[in-house]
């Protein structure tokens, strides 16, 4: 992913996030996925468009996991259905996240996703990422008022025009975002306060943080690589897959190809890339180009 000092607003990366004190525990973060997708997809564009981009969820999850918070994605189940990919683009990446990482809660009815997010936050003493005020639920369930008072707002800002970008270790898609004006209790549960024992059970180990961030990074890299193919562009030389001879389509593909490339220095040729990425004709053209490249490599001895 390209890195630029120009990305975002002037105060991006200067959010003044409160620091924990001794004994503080990191609250679980529950992401109201539909709300976040609306915010992340429609910045500066026509809100009457019918498509929401599910890939906008991954940078948000990564942002909080990277800071040590357990993150739960709450999303209506129909958003992840393959036959709804025209309405919810890139939803296969959330299915990959669900399969290989977990932390995805499917909700049957769209009208219930807000309430489910609030109830998970209530039970885990977490905070919800959403700009929804949840007024209807607060009037029906007064006990949820304390939970909704911890809502975390993320604000999307105009970036440098790059679809995929990185700033200070955080990765962004479509638009960078910032988290501002946080109170300490939105992120941390202090020793002796209500819910401390429950929050303790939700703490992520360092190795789990690394595992989740690595999986998300691979998914974002796969998405960026196929976007480059669609647009006729090329990957920057620092991209994860810039020197790969074929591109993975899934995390299982990534694991398999990583093993194959570790054991073989020969040029890898892909199967026909049927499915959602390209036509058979385009796949055959790419394969023929790679065969020619493989032949040239063999003739020069550069295996």
Q: Strands 154-156 and 177-179: what pairing?
A: antiparallel
Give me the CATH topology for the region 2-223. Answer: Rossmann fold (3.40.50)
Q: Which residues contact 24 (CB under 8 A, 6 or more apart)?
A: 184, 188, 189, 190, 191
Domain ranges in the chain are 2-223, 234-300
Question: How many Å apart are CA 102 and CA 95, to the nearest integer?
Answer: 9
Structure confidence by residue, pLDDT tens digits, 56-81: 999 999 999 999 999 999 999 999 99
pTM, full prediction: 0.80
Angle between helices 91-100 and 251-263 (to 10 degrees): 70
Structure confidence by residue, pLDDT tens digits, 10-19: 444 456 778 8
> Cβ distance 25 to 199 under 8 Å?
yes
Structure confidence by residue, pLDDT tens digits, 205-257: 999 999 999 999 999 999 999 999 888 888 888 898 888 878 899 999 998 88
What's the first-to-final CA gap in the chain, in angstroms?
A: 27
Q: What is the pLDDT of residue 187?
A: 96
């Amino acid at each position: 992913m390209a890195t630029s000092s120009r990305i975002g607003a002037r105060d991006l990366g200067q959010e003044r996030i409160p620091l924990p004190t001794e004994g503080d525990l990191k609250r679980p973060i529950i992401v109201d996925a539909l709300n976040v997708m609306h915010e992340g997809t429609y910045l500066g564009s026509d809100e009457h468009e019918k498509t929401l981009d599910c890939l906008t969820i991954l940078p948000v999850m990564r942002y909080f996991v990277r800071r040590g918070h357990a993150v739960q994605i709450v999303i209506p189940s129909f958003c992840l259905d393959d036959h709804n990919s025209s309405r919810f683009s890139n939803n296969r990446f959330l299915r990959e996240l669900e399969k290989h990482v977990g932390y995805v809660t499917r909700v049957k009815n769209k009208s219930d996703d807000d309430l489910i997010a609030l109830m998970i936050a209530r039970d885990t003493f977490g905070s919800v990422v959403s700009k929804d005020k949840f007024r209807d639920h607060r009037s029906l369930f007064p006990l949820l008022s304390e939970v909704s008072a911890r809502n975390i707002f993320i604000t999307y800002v105009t970036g440098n025009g790059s679809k995929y970008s990185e700033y200070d270790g955080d990765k962004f898609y479509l638009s960078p975002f910032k988290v501002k004006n946080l109170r300490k209790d939105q992120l941390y549960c202090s020793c002796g306060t209500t819910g401390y024992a429950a929050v303790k059970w939700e703490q992520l180990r360092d190795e789990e943080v690394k595992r989740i961030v690595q999986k998300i990074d691979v998914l974002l890299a796969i998405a960026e690589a196929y976007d480059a193919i669609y647009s006729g562009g090329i990957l920057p030389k620092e991209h994860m897959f810039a020197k790969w001879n074929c591109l993975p389509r899934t995390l299982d593909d990534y694991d398999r190809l990583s093993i194959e490339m570790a054991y073989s220095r020969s040029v890898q040729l892909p199967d026909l890339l049927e499915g959602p990425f390209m036509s058979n004709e385009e796949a055959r053209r790419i394969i023929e180009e790679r065969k020619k490249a493989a032949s040239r490599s063999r003739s020069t001895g550069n295996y």
